[in-house]
Amino acid sequence: MSVGYHSGFGLWVMLHLDEPRKGIVLRSAPAVTGPWSRGEVVVSGDEFPAIYGGFLHPWSLDGPELYYLVSQWGPYNVFLTRTRLEVV
């Protein structure tokens, strides 16, 4: 799990592996103590089997694009991943 304050949106963001949803999920909250959104799967485990992580890059916590690292077992690899954020 990785948590950081996104100054551009004024929200806390969290990335983590959600095994029942089979992917890396992005959640947000107005305070670090919550309440946290249900979140959205941003990297699918169906597309990338055996993924884990979702470690935020701190330099991306102010703009519309969020960068983070995702790891995968077998074959082991680490990916720098990007998600474009939108306020809804």
Place 86 in a pLDDT band, splitting at 50, 70 and 90: confident
Q: Are 7 and 47 in contact (CB under 8 A)?
A: no
Task: Report the number of distinct structural domains present in the chain.
Answer: 1
Phi (first) and psi of residue 3, to 5 degrees: -130, 140
Range of the domain at 71: 2-84
Query: DSSP states of 9-51 as a string?
Result: TTEEEEEEEETTTTEEEEEEESSTT-PPP--EEEEETTTSTTE
pLDDT in tens, 30-70: 999 999 999 999 999 999 899 999 999 999 999 999 999 99
Q: Cα 53–71–19 angle (5° rounding)?
A: 50
Q: Which helix (H) or strand (E) holds 69?
A: strand 65-72
Structure tokens at 68: 């983070």
Q: What is the pTM of this model?
A: 0.90
